[in-house]
Copies of this chain bind each other. A is one copy, B any other.
Amino acid sequence: MGRVRLADVAAYAGVSMKTVSNVVHDYPHVKPEMRQRVQEAIDALGYRPNVTARRLATGRTGMVALAVPEIDHPYFSELSRRIAEHAASRGYRVLMEQTLSEPGAERAVLRDREEGLVDGVIFHPVSTTQSELARLSRDVPVVLLGEAAIPLTVDHVMIDNVAAAREATEHLLSLGARRPVFLAAVEGDVTVSTDRRLEGFQDALQAAGVRLPSSHVLTASDFSPQASSEAVNRALDAGLDFDAILCRDDQFAVGALSALHARGISVPDEIALVGWDDTALSRFAYPAITSVSPDKAALATSALDLLLERIGGFHGPGRHVITPHTLAIRESAPAVTEAARPL
């Protein structure tokens, strides 16, 4: 237990508290012999600094909050890990928060900062409006993640969704796909990310001179793989003719894959499939699913570094960083080996 206090060490070593503090903090101007004497006292007494007292004295917590919709969603848990690891290397710790996309919980995120729990917040908003975000993040170090409507005044990190969708679609076309569908929209969904990805999808089709009816955008009832399966089955039952699917995320991709498997449709031979987020879900599926892969490490480091700058006192206008993405090519939409083969 935190029984031993700085004062105890000071008394034991016969020096002032401040000197002990200086030793603890590796302050340079301490004579080696003094440093050693104090260190011995620290070791002898088993002293551990009390973080809370330090925080109160310095006003800094050494913690940042990471607020995401669901902490056990593969994308977020993988991203969290990256952020936590990068934070550790910068001497920070991460407090994870789950908002479940609820407005109340999202609003509460910034309260942690106000209450001095953390020095800043990395936040993936879903339901908070742009203007509310702008208002709430006044004077609070915040970095936003994701593709919701983000106010220009707030720092923001994301990948180029339009380009990523375009590239994924081009990849499908290069495989010989001519009638791809976008499994994307969710009924009642208002997220901007879907729009951006759809835009890239259509850009690629247009550039390739492919013209498709709007029926080639599939809609699921919610964000679950089951809903995705149903959407694919509905399309198939309705006789929709398609040879590739670009999914808005990996959960949709595994759902689509199930539906295709169940019908005995070969992936990628009959229908090629691309997911999004490059999570464990796509890596471990069979066949392994090609997936748009945001550079999670870059996302993590960019977001944290921007945040730490804000915490450090930076007061400039919102920075908007685009981090790299790639297409993680796997079996569900493999690399073109020979000439584009017709599907």
Residues of A that sit less than 8 Å from B by CB: 1-2, 48-53, 55-56, 61, 70-72, 74, 77-78, 80-81, 84-85, 93-96, 98, 111, 114-117, 139-140, 225, 251, 254-255, 257-258, 261-262, 280-281, 284-288
Contacts and interface: CB of A to CB of B under 8 A. Distances in A.
A48 to B, nearest CB: 5
A258 B280 contact: no
Contacts of A78: 72
A51 B53 CA distance: 12
B140 A1 contact: yes
A98 to B, nearest CB: 6
Contacts of A48: 111, 114-115
Given A70-B81, A72-B80, A94-B96, A50 B116 contact: yes
Copies of this protein in the assembly total 2
A262 B244 CA distance: 21
A255 to B, nearest CB: 8
Given A52-B55, A257-B286, A286-B257, A95 B98 contact: no
Contacts of A61: 52
Contacts of A255: 284
Nearest to A284: B254
A84 B96 contact: yes
B84 A80 contact: no
B72 A98 contact: no
A74 B116 contact: no
Contact of A139 (B1, B53, B116): B1
B258 A2 contact: no
Interface centre among A61, A139, A225 (most CB of B within 10 A): A225
12 contacts: A1-B139, A2-B116, A49-B115, A50-B115, A51-B115, A74-B74, A93-B95, A225-B284, A254-B286, A258-B286, A280-B281, A281-B284
Nearest to A287: B261
Nearest to A225: B284
Nearest to A78: B72
Given A51-B115, A56-B56, A284 B77 contact: no
Contacts of A280: 72, 74, 280-281
Name the residue among A51, A71, A72, A114 with the largest chain B CB count within 10 angstroms.
A72
Nearest to A261: B286
Contacts of A117: 51-52
B96 A96 contact: yes
Nearest to A254: B284
A171 B225 CA distance: 27
Contacts of A285: 254, 284-286
Nearest to A111: B48
What are the 4 tightest A-B residue pairs by CB atom distance, in nearest-first order? A77-B77, A72-B81, A72-B77, A254-B284
A251 to B, nearest CB: 7
